[in-house]
Structure 1
Amino acid sequence: MATLLKQDNWYYSQFYCKDRSPQRKRIALKTKTKRTAQKIHKKLEDKYAQNLYDPWTGYDATKSTLPVSENSSIKEVLDYYVTQKSQEDWRSTTAKNTSYVLYSFGRYIGEDKCIQALKPDQINSFLNRDKYAYATKKTHKKKIVPFAKWCKKENLISYDFGKVKIYNNDKEQDNTINYLTEEEIEKLKNGIREKVAHDIEKGYQNAERNAYWLIDFIDWQRYSGMRISETLSLRPENINTETWEVTIGSDSFNTKSKAKQILPIGEVEPLKKLAKKLLENCSEGERLFKHKDRRRTSRTFKKYVRYALPEREDICVHSSRHTCCIHLLRSGVPIYTVQRWMRHASVKTTQNYADLLNMDISNQVGSAFA
């Protein structure tokens, strides 16, 4: 009926039905503990056998009744919301970060209060605390407002959350899109070469296993614009060497949009050349960059940024994605093409980068009619 599988230390339940498409459907159990995985797997099997659960559609009859009401406390509603979203579509990192903000918000307004005490003014008060930067306020808003809208959808509250606003304390908004110039990228790569060579000579790093891989990683990021988790999850089977298409997402890894995405690199020579190099040194099933820990990679990257570019403390791995987007726009690539390459859900996101460049509209329109 169903098989308990383990991949990269994570457990999955795989269901099979010859009449369904696809015939095999893998469900992430979101645990690394075998005993916990066995319990969850057994529950899913039982519900599937009783036609109470369909892994292909996500239908679960046992969740049809909402266990919270308009008289529930804020903490009770938060617990249910976080649990449900974690099971439905949140990735583990999303669940951790979002729940941290939501529970902080709950403590701020009083988690023992009735859910009906939740009002737009309280959200505004939490979001606009002076100790947080404007970018952090925006991040918090993206996590709290969906929760409030969900509460309204479930008839737990009835307020208009269109009044939720964040303010910048009458200060000019800081540039939150941090990116690297071509000169800074070369300086960073040279800094890595210099530091690693010195460490190998002193015996601090191994000649066969060292941080030289970061150079290829940086180039891949700047050309592909992929997110760090997407890049570290790449395997040889994700790259079709006949069509030169990179498939982002797999049964064991979900993209931000929860759907598999395609990146065509056939005409992108620097990226295609790098892909060939990486494939030559990678076995089937092995990770392309041979690293999977996102946090460790981020810390290592930051270490070399501080060494080579001490004045750019604002730079992180994600800045290389910004760098790719900025470079494409600056080179005159149409904004909708850039949106598709970056895989932004909305062109409005891409427009933020274009606005940052303060493009000369007159020159572009003039060249079109020349």
Structure 2
Amino acid sequence: MASLVQQHGRYFSQFYDADRTPQRKRIALQTSSPEVAKRLHVRAEDKYALGEYDPWRDGREHELFGWEAPPKKDLSTLGKARDAFLESKSHLRPATQRTYREVLRLFVRHVGEDTRTSSITPSEIADWVDSKPEISDATRRKYVSHVGYLVRYLVEKGWLDRDISKDVGVPKKTETPTKAITSDQVEKIVQAIEEDGDQERYRYLILILRVNPMIGLRTGELLEMRWEEGPVRVDLDKAVVHVASGGDFKTKSGQARRIPLSEKATRLLTLEKQESASDYVFHRDGSEVKYTTLSSAFRRFRKDAGVASWVTLHSTRHAFGTRLASAGTPIHVIKKLMGHSTTSVTEQYLHAAPEQGHHYVDKAFGG
């Protein structure tokens, strides 16, 4: 028995046999085209019915579909599965990879390197989290979420039947407003810089405070932003910011995105470029600004301005998402512009601006 399955835009042939381990075996069809996928699936199904193809036997897909044989991966134990999963995430930022590595190190150490992947249960994940009573509810959610990524990887590769991490109970997240900086707070910090009498030295910080609430970049992306060539660059002619991985720089999700510039943002950046002799948009005396320099300067002037300590550099990014949500921007558009990996992250901005849904309800049902 076989079925055609779509996941994350890609297609798989999924075979089922209650007497095999795992009972369900997925074969990647290496296509996002439904027409191509259907043809390949029928071919696999026919060969399987005739006994000429066994999806549980690795290395036969290249014979069936004419592909080059991939290197054989053994995901039979938790330790091997962890290593293969981390290898598959090597395109992500080093910080993101470190988080995956640390969480999975703790989980695998608790359950056992040689534990069979087919025997992992939700209770083992729950027992591992419960063995750490000192961690916060947020950390508990993070641990289960990251083990869930490994579980879904095993489901995709056919070594587990389903996502067992969904059966693990975690404390519900309390909805809190996003920590978005306000226009008033921006101007208070800018005024503190100007009163210091050295605004030219901190010109980069003033520009970040005024521009980033309109483009929503992460701090690392801001510091990488350039006028011409580079992974993060401004195209003033087309009024867009391009963000992509390149060289030593990697985006958090590993994906590229394009952020349209508003007229106000374009005007501010155009004025800056006319007066700049640096390749970097945000620079200090023509040189690249270091994160520690930016962070230290921001904290200093935030304190001088009497602005609450919960306001951070990241609050300028939150302001972008919150303003988009308040304007009624669909969640999938906000997700794309902000470079989120899932819409669950984006939903925080809808909570901050619940009225954004009224536009769509009014349009659907009238007054």
Q: TM-score, normalised by structure 2?
A: 0.64
Q: Which residue of 2 aligns with 1:83?
A: 87
2:270 equivalent in structure 1: 276
- Residues 316-355 of structure 1 mapped to structure 2, 5 A cutoff: 316-332=312-328, 338-339=334-335, 341-344=337-340, 349-355=345-351
Correspondence for 1:103: 105
SS in 2 for 1:225: coil
CA distance 1:119–1:191, change in 2 (3 Å): farther
What are the equivalent positions in structure 2 for 1:274-313 lying under 5 Å apart? 274-283=268-277, 286-290=279-283, 291=288, 293-294=290-291, 297-298=294-295, 300-309=297-306, 311-313=308-310
Taking a change above 3 Å as real, the CA distance of residues 76 and 130 of structure 1, as seen in their structure-2 partners, is same
8 Å CA contact 1:119–1:159 kept in 2: the answer is no
CA contact (8 A) 1:177 1:353 kept: yes
**Separation in 2 of the partners of 1:152 and 1:364?**
36
Deviation digits for residues 122-155 of structure 1, max 9, x if unmatched? Answer: 2234446543444433433332211122234445
Q: Aligned letter for 1:163?
A: K
2:213 aligned residue: 222
Change beyond 3 A, Cα 1:137–1:320:
farther
Cα deviation, residue 294, structure 1: 4.3
Question: 2:225 is paired with a residue of what secondary structure?
Answer: coil
CA distance in 1, matches of 2:203, 2:159: 54
| 1: CA distance, partners of 2:169 / 2:293 | 33
Asked whether the 8 Å contact 1:134–1:173 carries over to 2, the reply is no
The one-letter amino acid paired with 2:215 is: S
Structure 2 counterpart of 1:65, one-letter code:
K
- Asked if the contact 1:249–1:260 (Cα under 8 Å) also holds between the matched residues in 2, the reply is yes
| Distance change >3 Å, CA 184–CA 140, structure 1 → 2 | farther
Amino acid at match of 2:105: Y
Find the counterpart in structure 2 of residue 32 from structure 1.
none
Query: Structure 1 regions of 5+ residues with no counterpart?
Result: 1-58, 201-206
Of structures 1 and 2, the one scoring higher in RCO (CA 8 A, sep 6+) is 2
- RMSD in angstroms over aligned alpha carbons? 3.7
- Aligned partner of 1:139 in structure 2 is 142
| Pair 1:274–1:233, CA change in 2 (3 A) | same
2:181 maps to 1:188:
no
* Misfit runs of 4+, over 6 Å: none
| Amino acid paired to 1:247 | H
Q: Which of 31, 51, 72 is the aligned partner of 1:65?
A: 72
- For 2:293 and 2:125, locate their aligned partners in 1 and report how far apart those are by CA, in whole Å: 34
Shift of 1:216: 1.0
Query: Do 1:191 and 1:308's aligned partners in 2 also have CA atoms closer than 8 Å?
Result: yes
1:151 match: 154
Instruction: Summarize the Cα distance change of 1:168–1:233 in structure 2 as closer, same or farther, 3 Å threshold.
Output: same
Q: Which structure 2 segments of 5+ residues have no match?
A: 1-66
Would the aligned equivalents of 2:245 and 2:256 in 1 still touch at CA under 8 Å? yes
Counterpart secondary structure, 1:359: helix
Identity %: 21
Distance 2:335 2:118 in 1: 40
Compute the TM-score of the two structures, normalised by the length of structure 1: 0.63
The alpha carbon displacement at 1:334 in A equals 5.7
The one-letter amino acid paired with 1:228 is T
Amino acid in structure 1 at the alignment position of 2:153: W
User: Does the Cα contact within 8 Å between 1:248 and 1:260 map onto a contact in 2?
Assistant: yes
> Cα–Cα, structure 1 residues 338 and 154, in superposed 2: closer, same or farther, change >3 Å?
closer
Compared with structure 1, are the counterparts of its residues 310 and 101 closer, same or farther at alpha carbon in structure 2 (3 Å cutoff)?
A: farther
CA apart distance, 1:341: 4.0
- Closer/same/farther in 2, CA of residues 297 and 98 from structure 1, 3 Å limit: farther
* Structure (1 or 2) with the larger CA radius of gyration: 2
